[in-house]
Amino acid sequence: MANSLAYFGPAGTFTEEAAILYDPRADLRPYPTIAAVGQAVSSQATDQGVVPIENSLEGSVTFTLDLLIRDSGLSIYDEVVLPIHHYLMAKPSTQEADIQVIYSHPQSLAQCREFLESRFPNAEKMASLSNSAAVSDMKESALPAAAIAPRGTAELYNVEIIGAEVQDVAKNVTRFAVLARQDHAPTGDDKTSICFSFENDEPGILYRSMSEFAERNINLVKIESRPTRQSLGEYIFLIDCDGHRQDPLVKDALDAVAKRVSTLKILGSYPRWSPSK
């Protein structure tokens, strides 16, 4: 666990909830962006940091993936999986029929898209830097407004909850990555995240690389791609697999993949999340 723990703030965000769940005894320090959390960890301003990395409805958080791909000083040390419950809130005495603007983080607006289209088809949807900041934006709005945020922010900002569990899918969860300057020691129930790219494209090159895991009976739990930002049509591939990078079979597979790709980076090996932790 960490003595000091950066998190994507401000206070009242789901990331703060995840940070408390991960280590309730840590000195929690909010930072305004995911990049700022990464910088706090890599510069040793804090021991570790917590950032969102994947949502069950909207997929990966690209800011976090790009940070991990490009920052050589960061590794995934652990993960936290948090059920996400969205609440609609407004200033006291605000009538639902009068609401003209609804604020929230872009991910939360997307996770509540069907609810918003059904109940507030004419209201403007405005993106805020975080769910907690959305409540502040709502309070400062000159127009009748509401915000979608975690339940705890209602008390934090002295506003009223006017809608509970407004996410489109009940089983909505977000996975958070715990960032550190090194990854975790083997525990016997681990995952490993890697990214790789190819200098030249050719038929079957991705298949042959991933087959190194199949031949060793290593399960791939996640596969996706991100643009390299260097040329259109060039991608970085990201894979999560079962096992720790020090496990003999996983190490053997990674060594084999390294021979097939132009760049390979191990983003970290870390314990698989369990609510009983």
Asked if the bond preceding 10 is cis, omega within 30° of 0, the reply is: yes
CB atoms within 10 A of CB 103: 26
Half-sphere exposure of 117 (CA within 13 A, CB side): 6
* Pairing, β 145-149 against β 101-104: parallel
Where does the pLDDT of residue 276 fall: very low under 50, low under 70, confident under 90, or very high at 90 and above? Answer: low
* pLDDT-above-70 percentage for the chain: 99
pLDDT of residue 1: 66
Domain ranges of the chain: 4-83+172-180, 87-164, 190-271
**pLDDT tens, position by position, 44-59:** 999 999 999 999 988 9
pTM (two decimals)? 0.88
Q: Looking at the predicted structure, is the pLDDT value of residue 247 above 80?
A: yes
pLDDT of residue 277: 60
Number of residues written out for the chain: 277
DSSP 97: G
Same fold for the domain at 4-83+172-180 and the one at 87-164?
A: yes
**CATH number 3.40.190.10 given to 4-83+172-180:** yes
Instruction: Please compute the mean of the pLDDT values over residues 229-257 and round it to a whole number.
Output: 93
Class of the 87-164 domain?
A: alpha beta
**pLDDT tens, position by position, 69-97:** 988 889 999 999 999 999 999 999 999 99
Q: Which amino acid is at 232?
A: L
CB 9 within 8 A of CB 15: yes
Class of the 190-271 domain?
A: alpha beta
Kindly give, in sequence order, each residue whose CB lies less than 8 Å from that of residue 244, ignoring residues fewer than 6 positions away: 186, 187, 190, 192, 250, 269
pLDDT of residue 15: 95
**pLDDT tens, position by position, 187-198:** 999 999 999 999
Dist CA 34 CA 67 (whole Å): 8
CB 3 within 8 A of CB 9: no
**pLDDT tens, position by position, 135-189:** 999 999 999 999 999 998 999 999 999 999 999 988 889 999 999 999 999 999 9
pLDDT of residue 74: 96
pLDDT of residue 243: 98
Instruction: Please compute the mean of the pLDDT values over residues 91-104 and round it to a whole number.
Output: 95
The rounded mean pLDDT for the chain is: 93
